[in-house]
A and B are shown apart, each in its own frame.
Chain A
Amino acid sequence: MTAMIDAQKLTKIYLDKDRGEIRAADEVSFSCRRGEIFGLLGPNGAGKTTTLRLLSTVIRPTSGKAIINGYDIMTQPEKIRASIGFLSATTGLFPRMTASEILYYFGRLHHVPAAELKARVEKLVQLFEMEAFLDVRTDRLSTGMKQKVSIARTLVHDPPVLIFDEPTVGLDILVTSVMMRFIQSCKEENRAVIFSTHIMSEAEKLCDRIAIIHEGRIHATGNLSELQSLTGKKFLEDIFIHLINRAEQDLTHEPV
Chain B
Amino acid sequence: MSLLRDALIVFLKELICFVRDRNIVINTILMPLFLYPTTFWVMNQIMLLQQGAVQQQVSKVAIVNGDQLPDLMDVLSDTDMVELVKGWAPVSSEGVDVLLDIREAHYNADNPCFKIKLDYDQANDYSIAAKKKILTVLDQFREQILLSVTLVHDIPSVVVEPFTVEIIDIASDQKMGTYFISLLLPMMIIIMAAMGTFYPAIDIIVGERERKTLETTLLSPTSRLAIVIGKFCAVVLAGIVAVFLNIVALALTAAHTLFLMAGNGSVGFSLPLKSIPLILLTTVIISACFGAACILIASYARNFREGQSFVTPFFILSFQPAIVSALPGISLTTGLAFVPVANAALMFKEIINDEYHWDKIALVLFSLVLYTGIVLIAAACRLKNENTFWREKSETLKKSFHLSQRFQFWRKP
CB neighbours (8 Å) of B412 from chain A are 75, 77
Distance from B238 Cβ to chain A, minimum over Cβ atoms (Å)? 15
From known contacts A91-B216, A94-B213, infer whether A110 and B389 are also in contact, taking CB-CB under 8 Å.
no
Contact between B219 and A91, CB atoms less than 8 A apart: yes
CB neighbours (8 Å) of B213 from chain A are 91-95
Q: How far is the CA of A72 from the CA of B218 in the complex (A)?
A: 18
CB neighbours (8 Å) of B219 from chain A are 56, 58, 81, 84, 86, 91
Contact between B215 and A109, CB atoms less than 8 A apart: no
Q: How far is the CA of A109 from the CA of B220 in the complex (A)?
A: 6
Residue from B218, B221, B223, B411 with most neighbouring chain A CB atoms (10 Å): B221
Q: How far is the CA of A48 from the CA of B215 in the complex (A)?
A: 16
Is B402 engaged at the interface, CB distance under 8 Å to the other chain?
yes
The number of residue pairs between A and B whose CB atoms lie closer than 8 Å in the complex comes to 61
Contact between A110 and B220, CB atoms less than 8 A apart: yes
> Per-position contact with B for A90-103: 1 when CB-CB < 8 Å, else 0?
11111100000000
Pick from B221, B386, B411: contact of A79, CB under 8 Å: B221
CB neighbours (8 Å) of B220 from chain A are 81, 106, 109-110
> Per-position contact with A for B401-413: 1 when CB-CB < 8 Å, else 0?
0101000100111
Contact between B221 and A82, CB atoms less than 8 A apart: yes
Is B390 engaged at the interface, CB distance under 8 Å to the other chain?
yes
CB neighbours (8 Å) of A82 from chain B are 221
Contact between A93 and B216, CB atoms less than 8 A apart: yes
CB-nearest residue of chain B to A18: B393
Distance from A63 Cβ to chain B, minimum over Cβ atoms (Å)? 13
CB neighbours (8 Å) of A84 from chain B are 219
From known contacts A15-B402, A91-B216, A92-B211, infer whether A60 and B413 are also in contact, taking CB-CB under 8 Å.
yes
Q: How far is the CA of A89 from the CA of B213 in the complex (A)?
A: 10
Contact between B212 and A110, CB atoms less than 8 A apart: no
Is B399 engaged at the interface, CB distance under 8 Å to the other chain?
yes
Is B253 engaged at the interface, CB distance under 8 Å to the other chain?
no
From known contacts A59-B386, A59-B390, infer whether A78 and B223 are also in contact, taking CB-CB under 8 Å.
yes
Is A196 engaged at the interface, CB distance under 8 Å to the other chain?
no
CB-nearest residue of chain B to A79: B221
Q: How far is the CA of A75 from the CA of B413 in the complex (A)?
A: 9
Distance from A75 Cβ to chain B, minimum over Cβ atoms (Å)? 8
Is B111 engaged at the interface, CB distance under 8 Å to the other chain?
no
Is B222 engaged at the interface, CB distance under 8 Å to the other chain?
yes
CB-nearest residue of chain A to B408: A60
Q: How far is the CA of A218 from the CA of B215 in the complex (A)?
A: 25
Is B396 engaged at the interface, CB distance under 8 Å to the other chain?
yes
CB neighbours (8 Å) of B390 from chain A are 59
Contact between A58 and B216, CB atoms less than 8 A apart: no
CB-nearest residue of chain A to B222: A109
Pick from B215, B216, B223, B396: contact of A17, CB under 8 Å: B396
CB neighbours (8 Å) of B215 from chain A are 58, 88, 90-92
Contact between A110 and B216, CB atoms less than 8 A apart: no
Distance from A204 Cβ to chain B, minimum over Cβ atoms (Å)? 28
Is A57 engaged at the interface, CB distance under 8 Å to the other chain?
yes
Q: How far is the CA of A215 from the CA of B399 in the complex (A)?
A: 24
Distance from A213 Cβ to chain B, minimum over Cβ atoms (Å)? 19
Q: How far is the CA of A201 from the CA of B185 in the complex (A)?
A: 66
Is A123 engaged at the interface, CB distance under 8 Å to the other chain?
no
Q: How far is the CA of A21 from the CA of B386 in the complex (A)?
A: 17
CB neighbours (8 Å) of B402 from chain A are 15
Of residues 63 through 87 on chain A, the ones whose CB sits less than 8 Å from some CB of chain B are 75, 77-79, 81-82, 84, 86
> Per-position contact with A for B108-121: 1 when CB-CB < 8 Å, else 0?
00000000000000
**What are 23 A-B contacts defined by CB distance under 8 Å?**
A15-B399, A56-B219, A58-B215, A58-B219, A58-B386, A59-B390, A60-B411, A77-B412, A77-B413, A81-B220, A81-B221, A82-B221, A84-B219, A88-B215, A91-B215, A91-B216, A91-B219, A92-B212, A92-B213, A93-B213, A106-B216, A109-B221, A110-B220
Instruction: Report the 10 A-B pairs with minimum CB-CB distance, sorted nearest first.
Output: A92-B212, A109-B220, A82-B221, A81-B221, A91-B216, A78-B221, A92-B213, A86-B219, A90-B212, A59-B386
Given A17-B396, A78-B222, A109-B222: 6 more A-B contacts, CB < 8 Å: A58-B215, A58-B219, A58-B389, A60-B413, A81-B220, A91-B212
